[in-house]
Every structure is written in structure tokens, then in C-alpha cells.
């Protein structure tokens, strides 16, 4: 699955509009993922996952920063996220199915916070982008 020039443009524009609020979108996506897919909490036994958790907010900020970095380097996502890819393969080893779940929740976060941003075309491009990020992060698993 390849990101077309239109996809890249849509993704860059979307993150441009999200701007500084990306951190909140990240935290929102995580909160939604833990609620909708409780099995994802198994990766965070060391976290307080209660409402308003500072740890979840902090982690959401990290996740968002990575997505922004990928969007800003959309012609070479693998390069931009290489270290994160190593981390996920060697240390975190989050099962690949979970990236789809977080992707869904990120799209829902965008939909609830900025519905007008999520035209069908942008929806499609963002979905592809999030898949691409998940693929990169699991690329070195075996």
C-alpha cells in the first residue's frame, strides 16, 4: 500500500490543521483505545489508566509527536521512525493487531474534535497513513 501524492498532501494538511493540539488528540486516542479495547491495557500495567491520567496524557504526547514526525517526513516514514521501529521490535513488542486499534481511535479522535477536517478523501488518506506507520513500527519484528 503506497501513499499517493494526494494522500501525502492530505496528511500534511490535516496535521497542519491539528497543529499544536496533536498532543490532546494523542491522549484522546489512547483513552478511547483503552476504553473500547481493554486488552490494550495489558501493555500498560505500570500506568495509572484512570480518567485524566497524567501518564496517559504524557504518552499521548509521545504518540502524537511520532505521528507528526512521520507526517513531516512522509516520503521516508521508515527512516523517520527507524529508532521507534527498533524499540517496538526489541523492547516493546506490541502485537501488530493493536496498531490498527489505535489507528481507529485516532481517526475517531479527529472525527470528534474536528469533523470538518475528515472529508472522505482525508479519511482515506489518514487511514492509509496510520496503516503505513503501523507497518513501519512492526517491520523489524521478525
Partner 1 sequence: MVHWTAEEKQLITGLWAKVNVEECGAEALARLLIVYPWTQRFFSNFGNLSSPTAIMGNPRVRAHGKKVLTSFGEAIKNLDNLKGTYAKLSELHCDKLHVDPENFRLLGDILIIVLAAHFAKDFTPACQATWQKLVGLVAHALARKYH
Nearest to partner 1 of 65, 124 (CB atom): 124
> Binding residue for partner 1 (CB under 8 A) from 36, 54, 65, 97?
36
Sign of CA dihedral 130, 136, 137, 142: positive
d(CA 11, CA 64) in angstroms, rounded, equals 14
DSSP alpha helices (H): ranges in 46-81?
A: 54-72, 77-80
Q: Which stretch binds partner 1 (CB under 8 A): 9-17, 31-39, 42-50, 61-69?
A: 31-39
Site string for partner 1, 110-129 (x = CB under 8 A): -xxx-x--x-xx-xx--x--
User: Which residue matches cell numbers 516520503?
Assistant: 75
Q: Provide, rounded to whole angstroms, the least separation between the CB of residue 120 and partner 1.
A: 5
Q: Which grid cell sits at 26? A: 494523542
> Binding residue for partner 1 (CB under 8 A) from 78, 104, 139, 140?
104
H helix count then E strand count, the chain: 7, 0
> Binding residue for partner 1 (CB under 8 A) from 108, 135, 139, 140?
108
Q: Evaluate whether 22 touches 57 at the Cβ level (below 8 Å).
A: no
Which residues here bind partner 1, judged by CB under 8 A? 31-32, 35-37, 104-105, 107-108, 111-113, 115, 118, 120-121, 123-124, 127
Amino acid at each position: 500500500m503506497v501513499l499517493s501524492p494526494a494522500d501525502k498532501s492530505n496528511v500534511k494538511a490535516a496535521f497542519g490543521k491539528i497543529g499544536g493540539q496533536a498532543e490532546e488528540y494523542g491522549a484522546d486516542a489512547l483513552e478511547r483505545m483503552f476504553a473500547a479495547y481493554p486488552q490494550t491495557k495489558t501493555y500498560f500495567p505500570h500506568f495509572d489508566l484512570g480518567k485524566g491520567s497524567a501518564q496517559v496524557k504524557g504518552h499521548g504526547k509521545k504518540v502524537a509527536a511520532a505521528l507528526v514526525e512521520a507526517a513531516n517526513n512522509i516520503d521516508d516514514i521508515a527512516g523517520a521512525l527507524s529508532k521507534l521501529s527498533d524499540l517496538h521490535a526489541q523492547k516493546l513488542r506490541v502485537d501488530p493487531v493493536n496498531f490498527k486499534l489505535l489507528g481507529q481511535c485516532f481517526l475517531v479522535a479527529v472525527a470528534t474534535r474536528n469533523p470538518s477536517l475528515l472529508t472522505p478523501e482525508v479519511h482515506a488518506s489518514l487511514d492509509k497513513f496510520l496503516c503505513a506507520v503501523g507497518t513501519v513500527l512492526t517491520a523489524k519484528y521478525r
